[in-house]
Structure 1
Amino acid sequence: MQQIKAIRRIGSVLGLILCAVVSFAQEKSEEIDVTINKDDSHIWYTSPWVWIVGSIVFILLLLAVLRGTEKRG
């Protein structure tokens, strides 16, 4: 039983060391190049009112389905 615990501990330590090595091995970039293409085209699903109306319709449909599944006694 103690051998299993020792093997698990050694495995955990080696796993943590491997994670540390991988995280330090990441390439560091000195330059950050960010390009944002902003055009005047309007996409319909980016408007907040579309999401509000869609949410209301979804809630109403959900309520209708749940209300219809009630058993009447």
Structure 2
Amino acid sequence: MKEILAGMPWWVKWVAIPVLALVVFGGLITSVLTFVVGLLFKVLLFVALVGGLIFVVRKFTSSSGSREDW
């Protein structure tokens, strides 16, 4: 591969080839990034909901002896 690119100008290696890669694989890259971001959002939402549930359960079970705190 280095022999093929050795005679090419710098803009072919650093501009044209990456642009071609983005044109060919752009949809794949976008779908993978969308999946990863969506999965990360769902994981963070799950962690926040579980943390909130644990907080609520601990708050109400610690004061279960005295109902005046409600």
TM bucket, shorter chain: 0.3 to 0.5
Higher relative contact order (CA 8 A, sep 6+): 2
User: What is the TM-score normalised by the length of structure 2?
Assistant: 0.42
Q: Which has the higher helix share?
A: 2
